[in-house]
């Protein structure tokens, strides 16, 4: 019988840290390390996507989940070489955006 270690299967690039609500980091400087967008299990936005955001705040790695199409559209415009970057997320009218 084979051992799992013989299969040469590598762990995927996962997100680390505690999940935090976006409201807890509003108007605070964060470091954005990476993100991914997937089909949402509960589509409530136009895109039907969910944003997974790996951030750092005060030296702690955290994860934010959001359906914000504004944040997703802004992230799509950033080149991969530009990560990580420093930003602040604000609430403007009825949406979130990076500043």
What is the average pLDDT across 7-30? 89
In a domain, 9, yes or no: no
Say how many domains are in the chain.
1
| DSSP annotation string for 21-59 | -GGGTTTSEEEEEEEEEEE-SS--SSS-EEEEEEEEETT
Point out the least confidently predicted range of 8-12, 29-33, 44-48.
8-12
In a domain, 5, yes or no: no
In a domain, 61, yes or no: yes
Supply the range of the domain harboring residue 87: 14-98
In a domain, 50, yes or no: yes
Backbone angles phi, psi at 47, to 5 degrees: -75, -25
Task: Report the pLDDT value the prediction gives residue 32, as an integer from 0 to 100.
Answer: 98
In a domain, 54, yes or no: yes
The C-alpha atoms of residue 60 and residue 35 are separated, in whole angstroms, by 16
In a domain, 73, yes or no: yes
In a domain, 75, yes or no: yes
């Amino acid at each position: 019988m084979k051992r799992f270690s013989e299969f040469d299967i590598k762990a995927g690039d996962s997100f680390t840290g505690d999940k935090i609500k976006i409201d807890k980091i509003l108007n605070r400087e964060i470091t954005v390390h990476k993100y991914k967008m997937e089909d949402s299990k509960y589509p409530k936005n136009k895109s039907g996507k969910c944003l997974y955001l790996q951030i750092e705040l005060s030296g702690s790695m955290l994860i934010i989940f959001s359906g914000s199409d504004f944040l997703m559209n802004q992230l799509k415009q950033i080149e991969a070489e530009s990560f990580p970057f420093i930003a602040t997320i604000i609430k403007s009218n009825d949406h979130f955006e990076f500043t």
